[in-house]
Chains A and B, each alone.
Chain A
Amino acid sequence: MELPPAMTSRWDVERFGVGPMATPRQADVLLVTGYVSLKTLKRIIRTYEQMPEPKWVLAFGSCTVNGGIYWDSYNTITNLAEYIPVDITVSGCMPRPEAVIDALQTLMKMIQSGEAGAYKKYKENYEYYKANQDRVLKKTVPVLGQTPKNDLEGKDEDAKE
């Protein structure tokens, strides 16, 4: 939500050569702003795998680090780095637009010096990332061990037994 002020006339980020793109196939950087719910995680993984290399990921907000204020919610993840590799993390709850510009400039310096190479980790450790993604997205047994309360059909089965 602090991205529109960063992109418009007051803290104009376009003068550094950064601009929004319509599709992930033409983009270099993926910005994940804020908390990530399970439905969104599925789309983020698909978007990340659509981007051509070299590609970088920036994670904004405290919710991508340790869950933030929603750490005990049943629908948000707590650590984005377990699912896709992350280059730079910016903390804050709504990081200010100046922090956004600082992160982008640090990323540009890291690319120049050759330190930013997290996308290679995705291919090398693919089983690790895929195991985490499947554990969270595809659930077949209840996590807390309680089976759902039976509906009317279930009651008939119990009566038969």
Chain B
Amino acid sequence: MDAPSYTLSKIAERDNLAVYELFFGPNHPGMHGNFGYVLEMIGTEIVKVRPNAGHLHRGFEKLMEQKLWVQNIALVPRICVVDPDPNEVAYCTAIEKIMGVDIPDRAKFIRTITLEMSRLTSFLMGMGALGAALGLYTPMYIMMADRDLILDLFEWLTGARIYHIFNIPGGVRNDLPEGWVERLNEVLDHLEKRLIEYDKLVFENPIIHKRLKGLGYISKEEAIRTGITGPNLRASGAAYDVRVDDPYAAYPYLDVKVITQDGGDALTRAVQVRLEFEETIKLIRQALKEMPDGDVRLNLGNLSMLKVPKGEAYAKVESSKGEFGYYVVSDGGLKPYRVGVRGPSLPAGLLYAQKHLPKMKIDDVAAWMASLAICPPDIDK
């Protein structure tokens, strides 16, 4: 990071170029969400970066201390809009850990199926955004239309397209309706046929290969040391997955394959999303086959008067971007004492911006952000 700015400053002095400040800010067509970087540039090369976060800060951790335990389930999916189910599952798992209860088996399988479907919607949006950052708009249009098929299934099951509020402490709200499983199998067959088109459009495209190769290299030791998790870590060669290391919901009964690659640059991460997409479809099919019968929720009494005993717990789940963690502290009352949220995009969005961007040109910043799956709402909370 010192070498490029030293030589560039020398060239700038000699040719009388000025260092100017550019707000690659919230109002930019290549920016994902409401987030900004303040870039100091010479020509089109970046010299220094300062993050400008806080446009999406709503004070969730303070709001959650003022509402009842069940009311927070309406607040929690709004922390990450693209992939809202892991938030609900992590919050409910932390409460169930403190209370010491175990949910019924059928509820575990339904939670797993909704989590994996939410992962599919997030991957579709991620692949579309990666193409749109480089000027390829067609995949964005088709993938958003395919994503709507899954959102229709969610609406049939829970009543809402995006913020489901479906998981409660003790299980899930209601059972699967008649005909839902057959429709889910039809949608999965349709998505598997579409993968061939996505391959031809995005992954076998020579422009994508040329622009993403070598961009943003992260080595395996560096990724573990700086807190990168999820598909980004597995694309650098480390075989760690929260579903295998610290299983929750129905993952102890299922057979999760951990896919790793060596490469560590943006092209490897894009291919990683494609490989995990196929694996997710296989997991949903396996969970549907092995789902037992039974209740879907425990009887914990009136949930508006739920009192959680004194204690604390940290629960984490594997979302499509990495490890999403919730640290819940309870003092035995009707409202939480403290809820701390660990968002998966903070190491990539704030720390790696200062490591990777000073060697790049401004044309590649949007593609770099899309390849690391940086989603600003979970940096700001």
Contacts and interface: CB of A to CB of B under 8 A. Distances in A.
B135 to A, nearest CB: 13
Contacts of A9: 141-142, 144-145
B145 A8 contact: yes
A29 B58 CA distance: 26
Interface string B27-57: 1010000100000000000000000001111
A1 B162 contact: yes
B68 interface: no
B162 A94 contact: yes
B82 to A, nearest CB: 8
A2 interface: yes
Interface stretch (A71-79, A101-109, A118-126, A129-137): A71-79
B148 interface: yes
Nearest to B26: A43
A103 to B, nearest CB: 18
Contacts of A10: 144-145, 148
Nearest to A70: B58
Interface string B104-136: 000000000000000000000100000000000
A76 B162 CA distance: 22
Contacts of A35: 58
Interface string B282-303: 0000000000000000000000
Nearest to A6: B144
B34 A73 contact: no
Interface string B132-158: 000000001110110110010000000
A18 interface: no
The DSSP consensus for interface residues of chain A is loop
Contacts of B142: 9
Interface stretch (B73-81, B194-202, B338-346): B73-81
Given A9-B145, A37-B57, A72-B63, A1 B26 contact: no
Interface string A34-73: 0101011001000100000000000000000000011011
A20 B25 CA distance: 18
Contacts of B163: 93-94
Nearest to B143: A8
B190 to A, nearest CB: 14
- Size bracket of the B interface: 20 to 34
Given A4-B144, A9-B141, A40-B26, A75 B161 contact: no
Nearest to A36: B55
A122 B327 CA distance: 46
B59 interface: yes
Contacts of B66: 72
B161 A94 contact: yes
Contacts of B55: 37, 39-40, 43
Contacts of A75: 57-59
Nearest to B57: A75
Contacts of A1: 81-82, 162
Nearest to B56: A37
Given A1-B162, A37-B57, A93-B163, A73 B62 contact: yes
B140 A8 contact: yes
Contacts of A73: 58-59, 62-63
Interface in A85-108: 93-94, 96
Interface centre among B55, B75, B81 (most CB of A within 10 A): B55
Given A22-B29, A93-B163, A74 B62 contact: yes
A5 B148 contact: yes
A106 to B, nearest CB: 22
B62 A8 contact: no
Nearest to A41: B55
A69 B165 CA distance: 14
A9 B125 CA distance: 14
B165 to A, nearest CB: 11
* Nearest 7 CB-CB pairings of A with B: A8-B144, A9-B145, A8-B141, A73-B59, A39-B55, A10-B145, A40-B55
Given A8-B141, A20-B29, A94-B162, 20 more contacts: A1-B82, A2-B161, A5-B148, A5-B151, A8-B144, A8-B145, A9-B142, A10-B148, A37-B56, A37-B58, A39-B54, A40-B34, A43-B55, A47-B27, A70-B58, A70-B59, A73-B63, A75-B57, A94-B160, A94-B163
22 contacts: A1-B82, A4-B140, A4-B144, A5-B147, A5-B151, A8-B144, A9-B141, A9-B142, A9-B144, A9-B145, A20-B29, A35-B58, A40-B55, A43-B26, A43-B55, A47-B27, A69-B75, A73-B59, A73-B63, A74-B59, A74-B62, A75-B59
